[in-house]
Amino acid sequence: MAGSLHQGIPIGGKEPMWLERLSDSDVLAQVAEGNGEALDELLLRYQSRLLAFLTALVEESGQVEQVFVGIIRAIRSGSYRAMQAPSVEALLCRLAVLEQPALQHSPESALRIEQVVEPHPDGRELLAGLVRKLPTEYRTAFILRDALGMSAADAAFVFGITEIEARARLRRARRMLRRSLLRSMQTTPTEKATDEFSLRAARPSELSAL
């Protein structure tokens, strides 16, 4: 994130570099005190991971910036303080969900994923394409848990559901992906496919452009 995105109020005349030594929670506390440089630092720390989640969350690429701006607005307003978030990353993702409430895909629509699979020689590109085709609630669950490694408890907070429901959502997402992958693997050697199409094989950086 080049340059400063926000006009801040320096605390005690300190240089912005001192913020780098603070924990996420301490940086968030500085944001609450009106330190714009702290907000820049917080967003910089989570820029790529938050972008991966936002891209999975929204239906159109143009909405990513709108949701991102909404997150910034919510942080600066202090409206998040009563949320009791388990982590700063979970808080940012929860604010994104609140900014984009239209998770309107039904479980039935999820079954259509198998009807739109297009075989691709590159296993990781195929996996990314299948993840993109998942309904939003399952796509975001997969990104949070398998791509970003967020705990089930944190993911439950993000979605405003129970931990049991969060785990069930992830299991369903994995089942849908496996079914679609199996269809695509009909012309792929089994041993190679097992390695290429492992749902846990993709690194976060490889899925961040979803």
Which of 12-26, 90-104, 137-151 holds the top average pLDDT?
A: 137-151
**Average pLDDT score, the chain:** 74
Q: Classify domain 16-99 at the CATH topology level.
A: Rna Polymerase Sigma Factor; Chain: A (1.10.1740)
pLDDT at 56 over 90: no
How does residue 144 score in pLDDT terms, banded at 50, 70 and 90? very high
Model confidence pLDDT, tens digit, residues 78-132: 888 888 899 999 999 999 999 876 444 433 333 333 333 344 445 667 777 788 8
In the chain, pLDDT over 90 holds for what percent of residues?
A: 22
Within the chain, all domains assigned CATH 1.10.10 are found at 107-207
Mean pLDDT within 25-30: 88
Cα–Cα distance measured from residue 74 to residue 53, given in angstroms and rounded to the nearest whole number: 17
How does residue 173 score in pLDDT terms, banded at 50, 70 and 90? very high
Predicted local distance difference test score (pLDDT) of residue 166: 95
Task: Compute the Cα dihedral for 191, 172, 166, 122 and give only its sign.
Answer: positive
pLDDT at 143 over 50: yes
Within the chain, all domains assigned CATH 1.10.1740.10 are found at 16-99
Q: Which residues contact 34 (CB under 8 A, 6 or more apart)?
A: 8, 9
CATH classification (class only), 107-207:
mainly alpha
Predicted local distance difference test score (pLDDT) of residue 68: 87
Predicted local distance difference test score (pLDDT) of residue 123: 61
pLDDT at 155 over 90: yes
Angle at 153 between CA 104 and CA 106, to 5 degrees: 15
Q: What is the pTM for the complete model shown? A: 0.66
Find, among 120, 121, 105, the residue nearest to 176 by Cα: 105
